[in-house]
């Protein structure tokens, strides 16, 4: 359970930092009177990606707690077996998709 909680907290921390950095860049552009371009307000930016990571981290911690309770009950009842790997696959797949979105955003920013 501690490994899952650590993963969830890391996702939330990274998402928060990502969202705040995007906000910082936007505020810095305003202070320095830089024009970000018309597409800057219409694209999915670091704020949305950061919020998604925070949400995934929160769900990771929630489902880790539920999983821990189920595994603990199974151990107390004498049932032995591996728990379902669905949680790991879901989190891994979702974070991979968010990583792909981040790559696309970074590549678009370079052009």
pLDDT, mean of each 10-residue run, the chain (111 residues)? 86 85 74 63 67 88 88 85 78 84 72 61
Full-prediction pTM beyond 0.75?
no
DSSP secondary structure letter of residue 32: T
What is the pLDDT at residue 84?
75
Q: Are 72 and 62 in contact (CB under 8 A)?
A: no
- In 3D space, the residue among 70, 66, 64 whose CA is nearest the CA of residue 11 turns out to be 64
Phi, psi (5° rounding) for residue 18? -65, -45
Q: H helices within the chain, ranges in order?
A: 2-31, 46-77, 86-110
Q: List CB contacts of 97: < 8 A, sequence separation 6 or more.
A: none
At residue 111, the pLDDT reads 61
Quote the pLDDT of residue 109: 64
């Amino acid at each position: 359970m501690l490994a899952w909680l650590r993963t969830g907290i890391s996702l939330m921390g990274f998402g928060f930092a990502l969202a705040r950095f995007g906000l910082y860049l936007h505020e810095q552009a305003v202070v320095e009177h830089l024009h970000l371009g018309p597409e800057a307000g219409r694209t999915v930016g670091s704020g949305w990606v950061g919020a998604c990571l925070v949400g995934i981290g929160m769900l990771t911690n929630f489902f880790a707690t539920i999983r821990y309770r189920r595994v603990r009950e199974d151990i107390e009842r004498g049932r032995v077996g591996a728990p379902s790997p669905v949680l790991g696959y879901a989190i891994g797949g979702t974070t991979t998709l968010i990583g792909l979105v981040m790559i696309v955003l970074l590549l678009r920013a370079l052009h």
